[in-house]
Structures are given as structure tokens and as C-alpha cells.
Chains A and B, each alone.
Chain A
């Protein structure tokens, strides 16, 4: 049972445009959500997070939106840059991040110069 789903395995976006990565979850106990970025031959690295008490969190070019009623979150990258090409994982946790993380299957983002 996949509790965190990323339904798009891959996404290609022109440099300078907006990249939107989506994530859905089924467990209503999840209240803390994170995005990780992974380059080949490296471990995932933390990108941005959001708590269920918010519906938006922004950090530079990265914004995460949370729609609790739809159990959906999205990551917006504006403007997209070639260095953003990577695999992006969303992850979810309960107890405001104090429980184990459950990861999605990942979306490979390719930025086209």
C-alpha cells in the first residue's frame, strides 16, 4: 500500500519556466511533509518542508503548497535552472516530523536549456 504517491515518473521543463512536481498521500495522520532532491551517485538532500498548520512555504525559488482536504502537495520551482535536473522525492511523517518518514516513488525532472 503506497501511502505517498508521485504519479509522474518524469517531467521535462524548459529552462526559465516553472516546474511543478506533485505528490498525493492517503494517510490522514501525516502532518509534516518534505521534499528531497537527489543527484546520481549521491544521497538525497533536504530541499524544503511544510507543516500541516500551513498551506504554503517558500524558500527562494522553491515553494511547497499543501492542500490538506485533497491530501495533495506540490513543489514549484521558479525559474527552473539546469542544475535543478534531478530526482525529487516527497516524504511524509506524523507527529509533526517526529515519526519515520514515508517516501514517494520519485519524479525525475529534466530542465531543457
Chain B
């Protein structure tokens, strides 16, 4: 267990409001990822980080920004939430060699 905590677990927000999701890890992993899961699309990479203050875009990064000021925390921000961003968001860290990623339990976000 990589000790990954996502908060909040559930959130309902209104269109146009900013939202920040938090991912916290306790095992000093260098790489962290944000994915969203949607029916028919599987898991799609939003942004990832390869160290403090080092981040890069994934395949569905439009409308999202991230920050990583400490090794243990990776924040995902929706600057102005839209209904198309209703989804389940997963944070992941690189697990042991050969295990790919270890995922958090997810945040279910609903934008109304």
C-alpha cells in the first residue's frame, strides 16, 4: 500500500466554480499522476508530476491545472468547473518495479 489519500471523496459543485482535489502520499514517491475515469473512455491521464514543481500535461489536460509544492501532495484544480468535468478522479503513484501504478480510492465529482 503506497499510502495514498484523496480528498474529498465526494463533491458536488456548481458550474463555473473553482474546485481543488488533493492527493497525499506518505511513501516519498517521485512520480504522481491524475486520471479521470469515464464510461466508454477508461482511465485517461490529465496531468502528471515527476518531482516538486515539475509537472506535465496528459491527454486530457484542457480545463485543469496542477501543482506540486511538496513531494507528498499533488493538487488538481478545475479553474471553472463545467458539466463535462463530472467524473471520477484517481490519483496514482508509481508502485514497485513491475507493478505499474498504485491508485488512490478516487474522488467522485459532480458538476451541476
Interface residues of A (CB under 8 A from B): 4, 6, 9, 34, 36, 41-46, 49, 89, 91, 93, 97, 100-106
Min CB gap A111→B, angstroms: 21
Are B103 and A106 touching (Cβ within 8 A)?
Answer: no
Checking A42, A97, A104 against B97 with a beta-carbon cut-off of 8 angstroms, the contacting residue is A97
The yes or no answer to B22 lying at the interface (CB within 8 A) is no
A49 to B42, CA, bound (A): 18
Are A91 and B90 touching (Cβ within 8 A)?
Answer: no
Are A44 and B42 touching (Cβ within 8 A)?
Answer: no
Min CB gap A59→B, angstroms: 12
The yes or no answer to B29 lying at the interface (CB within 8 A) is no
Given known A97-B97, A97-B98, A100-B48, contact A45–B103 (CB-CB < 8 A):
yes
Interface of B is mostly: strand
Are B42 and A42 touching (Cβ within 8 A)?
Answer: no
Are B45 and A43 touching (Cβ within 8 A)?
Answer: no
A43 to B101, CA, bound (A): 11
Are A43 and B42 touching (Cβ within 8 A)?
Answer: no
Number of A-B pairs whose CB atoms are under 8 Å? 54
Interface size class for chain B?
Answer: 20 to 34
Interface residues of B (CB under 8 A from A): 4, 33, 35, 40-45, 48, 58, 90, 92, 95, 97-106
- On chain A, the residues within 8 Å of B40 by CB distance are 9, 105
A102 to B41, CA, bound (A): 11
A36 to B90, CA, bound (A): 14
Are A49 and B100 touching (Cβ within 8 A)?
Answer: yes
- On chain B, the residues within 8 Å of A44 by CB distance are 43, 90, 103
Are B106 and A104 touching (Cβ within 8 A)?
Answer: no
A58 to B13, CA, bound (A): 45
Given known A41-B106, A42-B106, A43-B90, contact A101–B42 (CB-CB < 8 A):
no
- On chain B, the residues within 8 Å of A34 by CB distance are 99-100
- On chain A, the residues within 8 Å of B45 by CB distance are 100, 102
